[in-house]
Structure 1
Amino acid sequence: MDAIDNSDVQEDDISLGLLLSTLADAKDSPLIFYYDGQPVKPGYHVTEVKAGRFSALDCGANPEAWTEIFIQLWDIEEGDRTHMPAGKFSAIIRKVTEHVKLDDSAKLTFEVSDGVQPMQLYRAAMPTLRAGTVHVELSPRPASCKPRDRWLAEQQARSCCAPTAGSNACCA
């Protein structure tokens, strides 16, 4: 069995575990996701939570394996509903874990649609609490070239941590 490598979770991504632990401190606060410069509508639904285990070859013919969790948001307005409390969102995820194994460290992807436009893929930033409301910014999930990403990370590490005559703060 291939080893699962969730190292492709980017710096500006958060994991499911981090999202849930942050929401635990604000369970009664409305949870509002923002995408494409707008908030989700007050009646939004979590329509599906999926866990996937993927095996692939990247563009450099390197084997890749990772786990990913997809949370599908249906961005609709329904009656006089308000934005879902953070605790209700967490309860939905807990209910899913009764039936589906969710890896808290897995890459987290949101699938969002208003039911008319095609679903779009987003990654989530760290939640923030503002005026008693939990805000989670979603940004489009870009394509990436894993061999290039690894090469850039190696170059950054080399340039940052190469021996120098003075002190080098990034290698502390």
Structure 2
Amino acid sequence: MNVIDNSKIQETDIDLGLLLSVLAGAKDSPLIFYYDGQPVKPGYHITEVKAGQFSALDCGANPEDWTEIFIQLWDIEEGDRTHMPSGKFYSIIRKVTEHLQLDGSAKLTFEVSDGVRPMQLYCAATPVLSAGAVHVELSPRPASCKPRDRWLAEENKKAAACCGPAVAGSRCCA
């Protein structure tokens, strides 16, 4: 029997609204993305922003609907450029929003390539303001089983509710 350690599951899927709210408060700070253990090069830029509405059936034959926003980063070095200021990134996304009506609660996916290796899909962790820059850790977007994901979320919710004193007949403990 396989036992899943729920304590090791880390939430790394932010939405567009969260990213923009952090960037709005740090517009002059450099925005540095990290992927594959390295920061993006100072010359990186956004090559495309796209939004999609998706409908699907998961592996349990459950209907799924979601909106997803893809931000494509080209990880290159150009001249003596510095990392993009958070305010510039914010402005680019706001300009796109004028044309595409981006949903702030949409799932956010980053497509990253250095122009040589194939583009890879990443999800983003909550941005962190540290040492005068906004840091965003990108992690590879793995395949998942949505029925299992829903079950794990429910189990995590039950475990989180188990934080008070033990109740007779309960599995919860203080």
TM-score, normalization by structure 1: 0.86
Deviations 1:67-108 (A, max 9, x none): 000000000001111110000000000110111011101110
The farther-off stretch of 157-166 and 61-70 is 157-166
* Aligned 8 A contact 2:112 2:120 in 1: yes
Shift of 1:150: 1.4
Alignment length (residue pairs): 161
**What RMSD in Å do the two structures reach over aligned CA positions?**
2.2
CA distance in 1, matches of 2:160, 2:87: 42
Change in CA separation of 1:105 and 1:84 when aligned onto 2, cut-off 3 Å: same
Change in CA separation of 1:156 and 1:126 when aligned onto 2, cut-off 3 Å: closer
CA distance in 2, matches of 1:155, 1:33: 32
Superposed, which structure 2 residues align to 1:53-64 within 5 Å? Answer: 53-64=53-64
Opposite residue 50 of structure 1, the aligned amino acid is K
Opposite residue 49 of structure 2, the aligned amino acid is V
Deviations 1:42-61 (A, max 9, x none): 00010001110000010111
The farther-off stretch of 27-36 and 156-165 is 156-165
Deviations 1:1-30 (A, max 9, x none): xxxxxxxxx832111100010011110011
* Aligned 8 A contact 2:12 2:139 in 1: no
CA distance in 2, matches of 1:53, 1:45: 25
Structure 2 stretches lacking a partner, 5+ long: 1-9
* Aligned 8 A contact 1:109 1:122 in 2: yes
Change in CA separation of 1:63 and 1:75 when aligned onto 2, cut-off 3 Å: same
Structure 1 stretches lacking a partner, 5+ long: 1-9
Counterpart of 1:28 in structure 2 is: 28
CA distance in 2, matches of 1:19, 1:36: 20
Shift of 1:158: 4.6
TM-score, normalization by structure 2: 0.85
Counterpart of 1:39 in structure 2 is: 39
CA distance in 1, matches of 2:37, 2:72: 18
Counterpart of 1:112 in structure 2 is: 112
Counterpart of 1:124 in structure 2 is: 124
Counterpart of 2:6 in structure 1 is: none
Superposed, which structure 2 residues align to 1:66-81 within 5 Å? Answer: 66-81=66-81
Shift of 1:34: 0.4
